[in-house]
Amino acid sequence: MEFLVVIAFFGYIYYLRNYADLRSPSEKEAAAVSEGIKLYNDGQIDKAYTYFDSRIRQKPKSCIAYLYRGLCQKALGNPEAALKDIQAGLSYDDQVFTVYLELGKIYLEQNQPEQALSALNKAVSVSEEQSEAPYHWRAKAFEQLGRNIEAEQDTKHAQELRARLQKTHSGFNSSKAPFFDKRLAINMVMISLTSVLLVYVIKNAESIHLPYLVAVFAAISIGFAEPYKGWLLAIMQCILMLAGYHFFTDLPEDRARQELENFSLYGSMILTFAASFLGGFLKRALNMK
């Protein structure tokens, strides 16, 4: 029984690590280096460069780190080094439109409109209408090439897209991000399964140790799955445990056995809240690294 519990727990952790996080690799990288991005956006270029240079030494295949070190190089007046860094970032992830966009900008500054147009075409394709910037800068490349009609078309489209995105963004700001999303729904399904497992363990364990162990593991997983909404999953798990135990199992006739199961059930509920908080705290701490 203990072996099956361990296998189930590590299987759940594997799922959380590889499938529950719906962000793209570049979004995960950006979150991991948010401190450096803030330094860059605040104009602290030297500190930002040091940050991203150190990050690349630690993780030499980070597209976002190369992108921002390249931007720092550009701001520091080293366009060739900037170009090299941005091309390196592109070699590790070719699905980040910002990399193509910055590459195109550098080519434009170097009066290489053909190369700029090639990069900006990719930026337009990869951005999937999520930013007007690729169209704006591709219009400049068309202008340098004397292709004025295409430049006007891109300029017009950039203006229309900017207005549409601003309208959408203001709508998101007024309603905020939805609380119930796909990720939360998936994790609710997983919580239903772990609740069933906990009830089964409570009914079959010979002591309180195994139910408490499973409850702690499951609750830590809750925190990792939803570091900000874990409280809802913890409440859901407790409700499912109570309902499952009282409505879908038979109460033991033996008084001692009944007390053991009660200790296991209510103790597991308390541990669910405590350990889910701990799991969320650990996940947030890891995300800050």
What type of residue sits at position 127?
Answer: S
- Which tens digit of pLDDT belongs to each residue from 171-212? 544 444 567 778 788 889 989 999 999 999 999 998 888 889
Tokens describing residue 45: 């270029």
CB proximity list for 87: less than 8 A, separation 6 or greater: 103
Domains within the chain, CATH numbers bracketed: 18-175 (1.25.40.10), 179-287 (no CATH)
Q: What is the pLDDT along the chain (289 residues), one digit of tens a residue?
A: 444 554 555 555 555 555 455 566 777 788 889 999 999 999 999 999 999 999 999 989 899 999 999 999 999 999 999 999 999 999 999 889 999 999 999 999 999 999 999 999 999 999 989 899 999 999 999 999 999 999 999 999 999 999 998 887 655 444 445 677 787 888 899 899 999 999 999 999 988 888 898 888 888 888 777 877 888 888 999 999 999 999 999 989 899 999 999 999 999 998 888 888 877 766 665 554 4
What distance in Å separates the CA atoms of residue 97 and residue 87, rounded to the nearest whole number? 13
Contact 86, 106 (CB under 8 A): yes
Contact 237, 195 (CB under 8 A): yes
What pLDDT was estimated at residue 172?
Answer: 42
pTM of the model: 0.56
What pLDDT was estimated at residue 21?
Answer: 52
- Which tens digit of pLDDT belongs to each residue from 238-266? 999 999 999 999 989 899 999 999 999 99
* CB atoms inside a 10 Å sphere around CB 235: 15
Contact 214, 198 (CB under 8 A): yes
Q: How many residues does the chain have?
A: 289
Contact 142, 148 (CB under 8 A): yes
What pLDDT was estimated at residue 178?
Answer: 66
Angle value at C-alpha 94, between 92 and 97, nearest 5 degrees: 125
